[in-house]
Amino acid sequence: MSNERTEISSLGEFGLIDHLTQNNETKLASTILSVGDDAAVIDHFGKQTVITTDMLVEGIHFDLMYTPLKHLGYKSVVANLSDIYAMNALPTHVTLSIAFSNRFSLEAMDEFYEGVYAACEKYEVDLVGGDTTSSQKGFVISITAIGEVAPDKYVKRSTAQKGDLLCVSGFLGGAFLGLTILEREKRIFAETGSQPDLEDQAYIVGKLLKPEARKDIIEFFATSEITPTSMIDVSDGLSSETLHICKQSNLGCIIYEDKIPVHEEARQFAYKLELDPTACALSGGEDYELLFTLSQSDYDKILLNEQISVIGYMTEAEEGTHILTRGGNKHALVAQGWNHLKR
Amino acid sequence: MSNERTEISSLGEFGLIDHLTQNNETKLASTILSVGDDAAVIDHFGKQTVITTDMLVEGIHFDLMYTPLKHLGYKSVVANLSDIYAMNALPTHVTLSIAFSNRFSLEAMDEFYEGVYAACEKYEVDLVGGDTTSSQKGFVISITAIGEVAPDKYVKRSTAQKGDLLCVSGFLGGAFLGLTILEREKRIFAETGSQPDLEDQAYIVGKLLKPEARKDIIEFFATSEITPTSMIDVSDGLSSETLHICKQSNLGCIIYEDKIPVHEEARQFAYKLELDPTACALSGGEDYELLFTLSQSDYDKILLNEQISVIGYMTEAEEGTHILTRGGNKHALVAQGWNHLKR
């Protein structure tokens, strides 16, 4: 962060909006009208429009003690884009509203927006609207992401079929372990004043602070002519998301513990903290990977993609939702979520 | 409000969402997929999509001392729909995210959502998504509204022409006077404990607490084959909005004070408080009327519509932006906004 501090009140609301959007160039043909009017106008040229929204609250969803504002801006966008990809759609636009107290300077807002624009650039979406306002306390972010999909080609959570393969992209549990180390270092810093050395934990810290959405997987589906039978993004842990697919598709499932992809660095760090890596994957959140089901006949098409792991399969609802452990035990999946592990 | 109090924590996040959306029936053919997945899917069938978003913060935008939660829910939706109408478009969908502290009960949330659903019903829009989360303090609302417009038939702020008539719907200044009386009664109640009698002020209090968006004006434009040359909704006072149109269209204007429509009840109440009714119209906010410019050749078409007042006309930019008072003086328009009057 630069050392300058410009009070936002010196610009006024419209001055602030002008300042924050001055370099906001639109890139897409579908952006007919962007910021600066009562509303933006989008033309998806016959495709269907996909829309999702999220609210992030300081002290609930993020801690500015260890979250650089630029990363926060980036992640806020990415988390929403992830929901659009999880529909097998491509994001095209975002709107961003923020409320912030006068403890934030213009330079702080600039940093936050740098991250927002970096994500828009990387994922090729246009920022087309928003709102900026005061808050009595803390920082609140609301993002709406819009995307497009060929008519009726979106993928829901409720359409998995019995016998389908249950698959996940990338690695799980990393973001939770990143959070764990940052929370630990925050405590140590508060008690002793000593600065953390996080070099050995670049992967897990990066996974928490600067996650990416799996655009590559959606592009792979398109080029490989794969349509998942159902899909969801992993924001609340593997258990919770798997149970959503099972419940909404009225099916059960079996997950094999030894097939759950956990990154080696995450696994080592979990052992160091005496945490179970599998529990971190099942109940840790914010990995922003894609969980999806595939017809068995598509198995050959994903075989060579190292970014996709088959972790189990779908069963009749009567068979329940289970994980088969390395030791050969069968446990019911429980959606404890992120908060449970934090305690 | 009912006297029961159910803690929201007793439901959990997914339980709360299920509860709040259990009666959320979609009405529109364009709603392909609603709440319950990673994102909603909309098909505007070849029309363009219009999108706007707003954030409302307790203590900044509303005071729960005198704002019933049901009215707040209604108004939050209406304020966003007003922006869609101001594009000469029709709203079709909204998403709603809220953050609230544990001081709010489930019954309180139900009341808020009652208002949200009432507005959705009245304006024929579907609620298709959102987010609910905790806040550390207060209540924060973020709404995104989506609408549709025939390709390239939207109306911007920047396209007014020299000589165009400057017109406004309904009456101005009422919401500000409603706020003034409620703030006054709040002070009196705090000092003396005596309950307000607001019966004589039904119009101005209603204008603040339960505003309506001018769907009727947009429908009138359609049936009368009128396309305004520019349009904006009046949320920050007539001065501020007129200056937006002038600046973005690179024009000046003359407004005639005696043509500015102020409701008789508002005018009387302003006199009682020794406020200038014209100043209330120019600088008071939240009226949610439509301000637009029309080609002079369309004058005959609006002549008989009592909901539309011609208040002035557009000039060259060099002539500046002025109001001609009843007394024959010419003053420059100043965008003082709402906050100025409050002081």
Q: Within the 121-140 window of chain A, which residues sit less than 8 Å (CB to CB) from chain B?
A: 128-131, 133-138, 140
Q: What is the ipTM of this complex?
A: 0.91
pLDDT at A296 over 60: yes
The pLDDT value recorded for residue A76 is 97
Q: pLDDT tens-digit profile of B76-131?
A: 999 999 999 999 999 999 999 999 998 999 899 999 999 999 999 999 999 999 88
Q: Which residue of B has its CA nearest to A152?
A: B32
Q: Which of A12-16, A315-319, B271-275 has the lowest mean pLDDT?
A: A12-16
Per-residue pLDDT reduced to its tens digit, B29-42: 899 998 888 899 98
Which DSSP symbol is given to A335? -
| Chain-chain contact of A55 with B86 (C-beta, under 8 angstroms) | no
Q: Which residue of B has its CA nearest to A151?
A: B43
Whether B95 sits inside 8 A of A154 (CB atoms) is: no
Handedness of CA A303, A308, A314, A319 (dihedral sign): positive
Query: Is the CB of B81 inside 8 Å of chain A's CB atoms?
Result: no
Give the lowest-confidence range in A3-17, A75-89, B235-249: A3-17
* Out of B44, B48, B133, closest to residue A60 by CB: B133
How does residue A94 score in pLDDT terms, banded at 50, 70 and 90? Answer: very high
Residue numbers of A between 268 and 307 with CB closer than 8 Å to B: none
The stretch A280-298 carries a mean pLDDT of 96
- Best A16, A18, A53 member to test B by mutation, with max B CBs in 10 Å, is A53
pLDDT in the model for residue A189 = 85
Helix (H) or strand (E) holding A88: none
Res B331: pLDDT = 95
Select from B44, B30, B215 the least CA-distant residue to B119.
B215
Q: Assign B139 a pLDDT band (cuts: 50, 70, 90).
A: very high
Tell me, what's the pLDDT at B242?
Answer: 97
Mean pLDDT (chain A, rounded): 92
Q: A342 to chain B, minimum CA–CA distance in Å?
A: 17
* pLDDT at B337 (0 to 100): 55
CB contact (8 A) between residue B146 and residue A41: no
pLDDT at A337: 55
pLDDT for B341 beyond 50? no
Query: Nearest by CB to A142, which of B93, B142, B233?
Result: B142
Query: Is pLDDT above 70 for B155?
Result: yes
Strand A308-316: give its sheet, edge to edge: A230-234, A289-294, A165-169, A308-316, A251-256, A321-324, A330-332
Q: Which domains does chain A have, with CATH numbers?
A: 8-149 (3.30.1330.10), 165-342 (3.90.650.10)
Sign (positive or negative) of CA dihedral A11, A17, A20, A22: negative
Report pLDDT digits (tens) over A146-200.
999 999 999 999 999 999 999 999 999 999 999 999 998 888 888 888 877 777 7
Does the beta carbon of A78 lie under 8 angstroms from any beta carbon of chain B? no
Q: For B162-203, what is each residue's pLDDT tens digit?
A: 999 999 999 999 999 999 999 988 888 888 888 777 777 889
Mean pLDDT of chain B: 92
- DSSP string over A150-181: STT----STT--TTPEEEEES-SSHHHHHHHH
**Chain A contact present for B11, CB below 8 A:** no
Lowest average pLDDT, out of A14-18, A31-35, B233-237, B261-265, goes to A14-18
The answer to whether B232 contacts chain A (CB < 8 Å) is yes
| pLDDT at residue A342, rounded to an integer | 45
Return phi, psi of residue B269, to 5°.
-70, -35
Decide if B140 and A140 are in contact by the 8 Å CB cutoff.
yes
Helix (H) or strand (E) holding A97: strand A90-100
Q: Which residues of B touch A98 (CB under 8 A)?
A: 55
Question: A159 to chain B: which residues are within 8 Å by CB?
Answer: none
Residues on chain B touching A233 (C-beta within 8 angstroms): 38
Q: What is the DSSP string of A14-38?
A: HHHHHHHHTT-----TTEEE-SSSS
- Rounded to the nearest angstrom, the minimum Cα separation between B61 and chain A is 9
Residues A51-59, mean pLDDT to the nearest whole number: 95
pLDDT surpasses 80 at A82: yes
- Retrieve residue B54's tokens: 């707003």
The per-residue pLDDT for B188 is: 87
Report which of residues B158 and A195 the model is more confident about.
Answer: B158
Q: Choose among B177, B173, B171, B170: nearest CA to B198.
A: B177
pLDDT score for A197: 72
Nearest one of B163, B310, B335 to B251, comparing CA atoms: B163
